[in-house]
Amino acid sequence: MTTIHIGSRKSKLAMWQTDTVAGMLERQGMTTQINPMETKGDKILDVSIAKIGSKGVFTEELEEQLANGKTDIAVHSAKDMQSILPPGFELIAYTVREKPNDALLSKNKSIDLSDSSKKIRIGTSSVRRIALLKHFYPHVETVEVRGNLQTRIQKMENGDCDALMLAYAGVKRMEYEEMIVKIFSEEEFIPPVGQGCIAIEVAETLSSEKRKKVRECLNNPDSESCLLAERAYLRTMEGGCSIPAFGLAILEGNDIILRGGLASLDGKTVLIGTEKGPREEAEAIGERLGHYILEKGGKEILADIRRAQG
């Protein structure tokens, strides 16, 4: 019987995702062994991800385990994956995607972002969410809040902020849906690349037998087509968690429709474009959108962002 050794972060959400993946593998006759650990992104909570200075803040330690053979696969939130993986690693599967929207959580059910007469403090660590909030709701104050979902909720309850802006997928998986006061439209708050999807990473040295079994069991072809387009867009932008880029691909018949863009850090400029084409050309669609955004002012915005982030 094939045993698959799985690497994962230790947070409750990461373990939910890993247990889900393990269950899928076990239903196909494989045995699993989970090796949870803390990554740099889990340990350093007092500065923003953009300032930690590492492209793989949630992935480096897991990749070390893959490289030395301690684990066969690593389970990630697809949105945490850098657009260009280090040499020797690849993503081989993407699960069925949860609703990709952002959500606003609060104990105060009367919060109304459209009411500019009231001061509202929203906790988030995302440069994309901060930029889009500044654009659509300039009266809102954002507060740097990092940590796992439970830690963030505790910070909100302690009075650090009035509400939290988070991925709907994580909120649902952790069963905090009753705290949702608003689900943001993906037309305005276009999600980050990969949000709502679980990605499976391996080292290229993994045996072809295990690779084949894992991919056949875990990969959803529709998710893969969409994620290939989204990730190609982000790769063309040379971006990751530290830039306010966004992109969401959907399928319409055999066609991919990819809508994405880039915001300035102050939220004053938001560039958005759409590309469409057959799913077989997923990566080319993403690259076309990336070049379009760069040519429409994206290069200048990225240069400003890199200067600001030092």
Sign of CA dihedral 212, 87, 83, 11: positive
Residue 49 has pLDDT above 60, yes or no: no
The per-residue b/e assignment along 41-80, b for 16 or more CB within 10 angstroms, e otherwise, is: bbeeeeebbbeeebebbbbebbbebbeeeebbbbbbbbbb
Look at residue 119 in the predicted model and tell me its pLDDT.
92
For the chain, give the mean pLDDT: 92
Look at residue 53 in the predicted model and tell me its pLDDT.
47
Q: Residues 63-91: pLDDT tens digits?
A: 999 999 999 999 999 998 989 999 999 99
Look at residue 47 in the predicted model and tell me its pLDDT.
45
Global confidence as pTM? 0.91
User: By the 8 A CB rule, do 200 and 77 touch?
Assistant: no
Alpha carbon dihedral 44, 73, 283, 274, in 10-degree steps, equals -50
Look at residue 59 in the predicted model and tell me its pLDDT.
79
Look at residue 41 in the predicted model and tell me its pLDDT.
47
Angle at 63 between CA 62 and CA 69, to 5 degrees: 95
Q: Which of 202, 244, 214 is nearest to 76 (CA)?
A: 202
**Where does the pLDDT of residue 58 fall: very low under 50, low under 70, confident under 90, or very high at 90 and above?**
low
Q: What percent of the chain has pLDDT over 70?
A: 92
Residue 21 has pLDDT above 70, yes or no: yes
Q: Residues 213-223: pLDDT tens digits?
A: 999 999 999 99
Report, as residue numbers or ranges, the catalytic residues.
80
Q: Residues 101-138: pLDDT tens digits?
A: 999 999 999 999 999 999 999 999 899 999 999 999 99
Residue 52 has pLDDT above 90, yes or no: no
Q: How far apart are CA 58 and CA 152, in angstroms?
A: 17
Residue 191 has pLDDT above 60, yes or no: yes
**Where does the pLDDT of residue 50 fall: very low under 50, low under 70, confident under 90, or very high at 90 and above?**
very low
**Where does the pLDDT of residue 44 fall: very low under 50, low under 70, confident under 90, or very high at 90 and above?**
very low
Structural domains in the chain? 1-95+197-219 (3.40.190.10), 102-183 (3.40.190.10), 221-310 (3.30.160.40)
Average pLDDT of 23-29?
97
